[in-house]
Chains A and B, each alone.
Chain A
Amino acid sequence: MSAAPSSTPVVSHLKGLDYSVVQQCMHCGMCLPTCPTYDATKLERHSPRGRIALMRAIADDRLEPTKTFADEMYFCLGCLACMTACPAGVNYAELFEHARAEVESRQLLTSPKRTFIRGFTVKWLFMDHRRLTAVGRAMRLYQELGIQDLVRGSGVMKLFPKRLRELEAMTPKVQSQFSNELIARVTPATGAKRFTVAVLTGCAQDLIFSDVNRDTVEVLAMNGCEVHTPPDQPCCGSLHAHNGEWALAQQLARRMIDVLPPERYDAIITNAGGCGSHLKHYHKLLEGDPAYAERAALWDRKLKDIHEFLVPAGIVSPPPAEGPKVRVTYHESCHLSHGQKVVTQPRQLLNAIPGIELVELPEATWCCGSAGIYNLTQPEMAGQLLERKVKHIRSTGARVVATANPGCLLQVINGCQSAGVSVRVAHPVTLLAEAYRAEAPKAVAAVPA
């Protein structure tokens, strides 16, 4: 059993946890059938209750945190389907974040490659929006100047390892304009003003789906909101918290509260399921910080997913649609449905669009394999899940898949494309924005190549 490699004392996140959180799991097994990694392997270690048993064993000093434990914590998708299934109300999200933090603080998975990748992405790139934008601009040039086509056409990629080729093929299309180029800092309400809201433009979302941000702002304005989109918003920190970088997540949360003071708005709106699930728990993250704890609690109360905000406020009806209805199906972002329990509202929003026939997607709540950066770190399991998702999408006969998280959007776009399923993948809010613009919902649109 390997001990911690460092001689400096390490904080045990799991031992420091309130024991009742660990003890809450009564290992009844109700989580097993909803866990994608258990379903695929049928091994208890790869199940929520198995993982919790390992965390508890560490908290109880019955197990040293090992590399096997560390690998297990990163084999978990963090999809939180187990939280929806758990009658006992175990807070798996909290356990899981502390377990990964334990892995990182004990440096259980250190390798030069991993250290470099994490150093570049989690600790550098996603800590400063300007860096991310600069990288985005570089990627945009790579794509717009035709270099990408040249590279792909030349066959030079064949010289690279298979995994790198796969990754290159997954490179998302960077938008030609970022959110601050598309959206005014303050967008007035259309008609009478009912609310003052802020919209979070996100980090990856801003680069790859800035059009979804624009659509979000338009839809909110149409529904009586004066919409503020301050520039230079930091990353929300969910990437950091989910990957064991607790201190960086706290740092980003403080910066976010500074950039978007919660007392100024009636609501702070997010359109990304994964981010929202983290953004609603700033208080837990900052409860030990007297300067921020109170505002973080206010922040949590003001933070609303776009669907969750719009549906109770009452959605202004779009003009009636002409022509036959377009069949749309809805794939649930794990962190929207399991993390935030926003389940019915996106469907209500879609049903409010006249040109749409909404059909249910079998296993709509089953993870698509995107899971933050899981599709990069665990390509095999992610690929299996994507295949399963695409099979169900195909079975619906839908022309459009709606989903409300940038990771899912990218993953499902990639999956449908490589399986040759011709569907458009879009955020529900985009479909609503198009309806307001009196555009017929596009069936098969050009998906990012």
Chain B
Amino acid sequence: MSLSHSVIERLRSILGSDHVLTAREDLISYSFDGTAALQQLPGVVVLARSTADVVAVLKLATETKTPVVTRGSGTGLSGGSLPSADCIVLCLVKLDRILEVDAANLTLMTESGVTTIQIAEAAAAAGLFYPPDPGSMKISTIGGNVAENSGGLRGLKYGITRNYVMGLEVVLPDGEVLWTGNKCVKDVAGYSLRDLFIGSEGTLGVITRVLLKLLPKPAAKKTLVATYDQMDRAAQTVSDIIAAKIIPCTLEFLDRTTVRCVEDFAKVGLPVDCEAVLLMETDGHPAAVAEEASLMEALARRNGAIEVRVARDEAEANRLAAARRSAFSALARVAPTTILEDATVPRSELARMIRFVEGIARKYSLRIGTFGHMGDGNLHPTFLTDERNKEEMARVHHAFQEIFDEAIRLGGTITGEHGIGVAKKDFLPKFAGDASMRVMRELRRALDPQGILNPGKMFD
């Protein structure tokens, strides 16, 4: 290990030995995140318990020019919290207190290591609602959600993490603590630094506290499951729903392979003998919900749905949503390595993109399971492969290349919600263009002149 002994000793005196991990068994346990086929041993793992801990670690890192990779629960899907060689992994899961739920201002103040589900539950306990619900919400931390600007199943109607962040406490690489934002709905004082840190993937500062916006809890919701014998019919249903001026909170689809894996795991009664399943949810005022649900059901039937089923109660609706959230991991049932993408296109191009992805899978003789957020054009084509098969992995790489090119050509993006990290680093310059890349590089250099925060991620 080339991380110097004196750095480790100083970390121990700052944090206490129990919170500085150097055993090989610990380093291995922190050598990956949720991304397939990526691993790298860090130099040391430290667990911060307060903003002051983070400040002290970053001051030491700046002084010694030691790279720092921040992480929460390590569920990211682009390698954003993959350690770099000899780095300090700064783990924030012990910043785990919710500090305030302010029902008068509809806000929640929390430390960044609190899990997304704890935030959703704390909001619900006050009769309020925190909508972003990424697939890993049971364990992902809010700090990670902000750093990656995570999406979820409700993006279509409620937006993504960015839309709920009102303020941030960020520790800059030199240890200075910055606060940006407040409880005001309107605030135009200066640049929106808050927006700069959202989605910055741990490259600009370490997020230690988050002030979140909450909504009143919708009074009612209805969940429907429609089954199709052709993917196009599901896609057409989605287009028709949007055209009918309905914005459901969820419009998710799963293809045949994905449905089978999900049902095998979750056993929620999804029909396995079909080409596509559409999971639809509407929420809001009971009368509006009833009207929208019956209209969506009619549109599904008009598009030749084999079956449309309405969830009996909230428990069944929650089971269906939870089953959908398990889709990515469940696909691992049929292949040793699952590599998922999140190419995103404008909604109008969705059916075309799905057909393109199917064609690419055929062209490169790859197995694929596709699911995703049909309502917001965010697809998750997932290649079912084996990382030990180098030849197949090369084909996977080519396939991605074509999928990204097509997504860009259709006016879409190379990542809708997983981030660049290391997985999509090579594709960013072409997507963003020279001017954007120059501004991003200059911003990063201004905030982190020594380049110690998450080096090698997003862009060099």
A residues touching B (Cβ–Cβ < 8 Å)? Answer: 1, 20, 23-24, 26-30, 32-33, 42-45, 47, 50, 53-54, 57, 62-63, 66, 68-69, 72, 86-89
Contact = CB atoms under 8 A, between A and B. Distances in A.
B74, B261, B338 interface centre (most CB from chain A within 10 Å):
B74
B338 A44 contact: no
A30 B326 contact: yes
Contacts of B29: 43-45, 47, 50, 53-54
23 contacts: A26-B36, A26-B329, A28-B328, A29-B73, A29-B74, A29-B136, A29-B140, A30-B138, A32-B139, A33-B117, A33-B138, A42-B96, A43-B47, A45-B29, A47-B29, A50-B28, A66-B25, A86-B265, A86-B329, A87-B265, A87-B326, A88-B330, A89-B264
A88 B265 CA distance: 8
B348 interface: no
Contact of B75 (A28, A68, A86): A28
A199 B266 CA distance: 32
Interface in B118-156: 136, 138-140
A62 B28 contact: yes
A48 B93 CA distance: 17
B68 to A, nearest CB: 18
Which bracket fits the contact residues of B? 35 or more
Given A30-B138, A68-B25, A89 B32 contact: no
A45 B47 CA distance: 13
Contacts of B139: 29-30, 32-33
A43 B34 CA distance: 16
B28 A89 contact: no
B25 A72 contact: yes
B89 to A, nearest CB: 10
A88 B333 CA distance: 5
B362 to A, nearest CB: 25
Given A23-B336, A26-B337, A28-B75, A69 B329 contact: no
A20 B332 CA distance: 11
Given A29-B74, A29-B75, A57 B332 contact: no
Contact of B332 (A1, A26, A63, A68): A26
Nearest to B387: A23
A386 B326 CA distance: 30
Contacts of A66: 24-25
B115 interface: yes
Contacts of A86: 265, 329
A87 B25 contact: no
B306 interface: no
A57 B23 CA distance: 14
Given A54-B25, A72-B25, A33 B115 contact: yes
Given A28-B75, A42-B94, A87 B332 contact: yes
A27 B23 contact: no
B122 to A, nearest CB: 16
B237 interface: no
B51 interface: no
B30 interface: yes
A68 B23 contact: yes
A62 B73 CA distance: 23
Candidate in B23, B28, B33, B333 with the most chain A CB atoms within 10 angstroms: B28
Q: Which 6 A-B pairs have the closest CB atoms?
A: A88-B332, A87-B329, A50-B29, A44-B29, A87-B326, A87-B330
For B25, B33, B75, B327, which residue has the most chain A Cβ atoms within 10 angstroms? Answer: B25
B426 interface: no
A50 B25 CA distance: 9
B329 A53 contact: no
Contacts of A33: 115, 117, 138-139
Nearest to B323: A87
B187 to A, nearest CB: 35
A30 B94 CA distance: 18
B442 interface: no
Interface in B29-72: 29-34, 36, 47
A70 to B, nearest CB: 10
B307 interface: no
Interface string B85-100: 0000000011010000
Given A23-B337, A26-B36, A68-B24, 17 more contacts: A26-B338, A27-B74, A29-B73, A33-B117, A44-B29, A44-B74, A45-B26, A45-B29, A50-B28, A54-B29, A86-B329, A87-B265, A87-B329, A87-B332, A87-B333, A88-B332, A89-B330
A74 B17 CA distance: 23
B34 A28 contact: yes
